[in-house]
């Protein structure tokens, strides 16, 4: 009878890492800890992007909710790459010198309007203002640039022209934390592990427009087969608006006029819209 038959042992419960990839767990953990800006996810996903359909006007409308891992580009974090010898020494420390060419802002109010340009009259030749749609911002970028979605990530958009670089990525988070520099320092070790060719160039707190917390994270990486340099400015404009402006240029072209003008104009013209 059934009473005489031994009860089969319950199958062992699978480890969470057997069910969910370790990298996904890392991303989830980082996303929970670093609510200041969701860019920490998008950085690792931004090697492969696709143009938004129906966005020919340059307006980044609708974003999918949620996050995950992106599939396949030649520099996807899962595909390895060289790493710095000591990422904490380079990426986790303040760089008080900075690069010296970013807009520091002189705004007295938290809306940053004091240092704004007044319409297209103040924009460099060849630039135009783009709207970030439901990501709640406007920014001036080169004419002809269009928004590109990031696979499996709805927190931001990549803006670029006909080539991979230069590019600007803008991310938005409605639940920012109070210390942007601390968030970047927490993110840097994960970036060193997952970004091919990552080399930290410094994380520093900056004064910009009177915002409560602003921090610049500078680093190099291999992306789409190219060595690039990145300046990622994270900031909180109020309790419900956190942003990051991530500017990427080819490393060898970082100090050339095109990239320098792009950085200065993006920082000077960025505006939260509500």
CA 53 to chain CA centroid, Å, is 22
CB 129 within 8 A of CB 241: no
Compute the distance between CA of residue 217 and CA of residue 209 in angstroms, rounded to an integer: 18
User: Prior bond to 237 cis, omega within 30?
Assistant: no
pLDDT number for residue 257: 97
Kindly report, residue by residue over 194-212, the tens digit of the pLDDT: 999 999 999 999 999 999 9
Compute the distance between CA of residue 262 and CA of residue 267 in angstroms, rounded to an integer: 9
CB neighbours of residue 43 within 10 Å: 28
Kindly report, residue by residue over 73-90, the tens digit of the pLDDT: 333 222 222 222 222 222
Judged against a pLDDT cut of 50, whether residue 232 lies above it is answered with yes
Q: Which residues contact 90 (CB under 8 A, 6 or more apart)?
A: 84, 199, 200, 201, 202
Angle between helices 180-194 and 22-33 (to 10 degrees): 170
pLDDT number for residue 117: 37
- Rg of the chain, C-alpha, whole Å: 21
pLDDT number for residue 215: 98
CB 46 within 8 A of CB 161: no
pLDDT number for residue 122: 83
Judged against a pLDDT cut of 50, whether residue 16 lies above it is answered with no
């Amino acid at each position: 009878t059934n009473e005489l038959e031994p009860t089969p042992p319950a199958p062992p419960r699978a480890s969470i890492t057997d069910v969910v990839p370790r990298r996904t767990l890392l991303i989830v953990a980082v996303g929970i800890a670093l609510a200041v800006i969701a860019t920490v996810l998008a950085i690792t996903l931004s090697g492969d992007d696709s143009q938004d359909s129906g966005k020919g006007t340059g307006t980044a409308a609708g974003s999918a909710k949620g996050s995950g891992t992106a599939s396949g580009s030649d520099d996807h974090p899962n595909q390895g790459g060289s790493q710095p010898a000591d990422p904490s020494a380079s990426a986790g420390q303040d760089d008080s010198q900075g690069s010296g060419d970013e807009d520091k802002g002189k705004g007295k109010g938290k809306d940053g309007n004091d240092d704004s340009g007044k319409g297209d009259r103040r924009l460099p030749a060849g630039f135009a203002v783009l709207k970030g749609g439901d990501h709640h911002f406007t920014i001036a970028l080169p004419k002809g640039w269009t928004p590109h979605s990031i696979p499996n990530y709805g927190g931001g958009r990549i803006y670029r022209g006909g080539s991979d670089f230069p590019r600007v990525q803008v991310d938005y988070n409605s639940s920012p934390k109070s210390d942007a520099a601390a968030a970047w320092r927490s993110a840097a070790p994960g970036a060193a592990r997952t970004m091919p060719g990552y080399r930290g160039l410094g994380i520093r707190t900056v004064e910009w427009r009177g915002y409560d917390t602003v921090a610049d994270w500078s680093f190099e990486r291999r992306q789409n087969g190219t060595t690039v340099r990145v300046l990622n400015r994270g900031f909180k404009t109020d309790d419900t608006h956190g942003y990051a402006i991530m500017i990427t240029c080819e490393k060898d072209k970082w100090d050339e006029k095109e990239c320098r003008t792009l950085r200065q104009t993006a920082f000077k013209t960025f505006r939260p819209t509500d």
